[in-house]
Amino acid sequence: MRPEPALLLREGVSPVDADAAPATTRPTTDLPQETLDYFGGDDLRAHVFFDKYALRDPEGRILETTPPQMWRRIAREIASVEPTAARQADWEEKFYWLLDDFRFIPGGRIMHGAGNPKRVTLLNCYVLPVHDDSIESIFEWMKEAARTYSLGGGVGTDISVLRPRGAPVNNAARSSTGSVSFMELFSLTTGTIGQSGRRGALMITISDSHPDVLDFVRVKRNLTKVRYANISVRVSDAFMQAVESDGEFALEFANERAGLHRTIRARELWNELIKGARDYAEPGLIFWDQIKYWSTSEYNGMGVITTNPCSEIPLEPYGNCCLGNVNMACFVSDPFGPQPRVDWEHLDPALRAATRFLDNVLDYNADKHPLPAQKAASLKSRRIGVGFTGLGDMLIKLGLKYDTEEAVGFVDQLFERIKNVVYDESVNLACEKGVFPAYDADKHLAGRFVATLQPLVGDRIRR
């Protein structure tokens, strides 16, 4: 295998700008007429392109006024890692076709960063670990996060390693203020470091068995706290079973410095989670045991520890998001007609080109990561995410109602095929370029998700 693909099955969610929120709600830049004309007078869409993605020189002068100019730049830059001039020219045209008419929408940092004279990363987001339960690790995290934000990346982190409130400490304090108390520091770091008029993006997670989990769930009910982060609880199968049976659930923490253990009724925590979701839209739930169960990378240092800020991809320490979405609405033959069908003649090569495109991004971005550890993680696992958008529009064009059994069955079959095409192209890249450095055939093939691939694809991986 070459890159480690991950299919991001979230309808309508694009990695474009997913991991950085705008600092203002209304753009102020005057639009060139050709930009407004391209978008048919749609001021909002024109501003999104012009303010966020159109290339500027170091002095801020505009160099692009329409998406085709942007697509040409991106295609040329991402093809530049090919080994010969002839292959670069060939793949530039293939990538341009892929990008043209929004057939494929790369992550927003790719569109912003490819060919940009400024020092920016092309990857939307990273996972940064808190290495251990110490003041030094907490502030090292803040330094690494600030550097990551400054180059355009978002951050996901997990605070389960930090001792809970009331645990003993070996300093001037009587006891620890707890893991949750440091969330505000993390949040303020995120809100302070700017990204060209945007703030950073942060996801903070915690284990459901951490003694501070109830404080964590309630922290954002004070609307002045942790304003610059999303929060989610990593939920285990054991917790969900305890909720169903109305049983007790153990909260525990232990390391060489401190230890705490107590039990609660599982439904006490569950009710607080539901109240938060209903009243405050947070925290989210991440079904962590299921993620680990289906993960393709739980070996050779690639085991996932939390997610990126939008939760669509679990990552290892310093792992990063190399993502893009195939626009399914572009791949319907005879749309709205008597015999509409999926345009596999063009969707298949688009999926394969997208897989290579994202793998090329890893090499193009190798020296653009904010931190050396991020570069090492990226090139070790070569993890990519081929996702999708426009599924609802595809179903409309095919004459399928979104909520019918027919549509659900169609989507199951569609993505079964997409999954196998993407993995098959990953094998092609491995044959051409070599497997990703952390690859272990036996461990990879033992993965439960890999076992769901078509036998032909699985056999190609095995060989």
List the Cα angle 66/71/77 in 5-degree steps.
135
Find, among 189, 188, 202, the residue nearest to 20 by Cα: 202
Report the residue count for the chain.
463
Find, among 260, 238, 235, 253, the residue nearest to 160 by Cα: 253
| Long-range contact pairs involving 395-400 (C-beta distance under 8 Å, separation at least 24) | 397/329, 397/332, 397/335, 397/336, 397/340, 398/332, 398/335, 398/340, 398/341, 398/342, 399/336, 399/340
Say if residues 297 and 450 touch (Cβ distance below 8 Å). Answer: no
Q: Which residues pair with 333 in a beta bridge?
A: 341
Cα separation, 327 vs 322, in Å, equals 17
Cα separation, 395 vs 413, in Å, equals 13
In terms of C-beta density within 10 A (0-12 exposed, 13-18 middle, 19 or more buried), how is residue 207 classed?
Answer: buried
- Enumerate the H helices of 114-182 as residue ranges: 135-150
233's enclosing H/E stretch is strand 230-235
Enzyme catalytic residues: 308, 310, 312
Cα separation, 91 vs 351, in Å, equals 14
Q: Which residues pair with 327 in a beta bridge?
A: 389
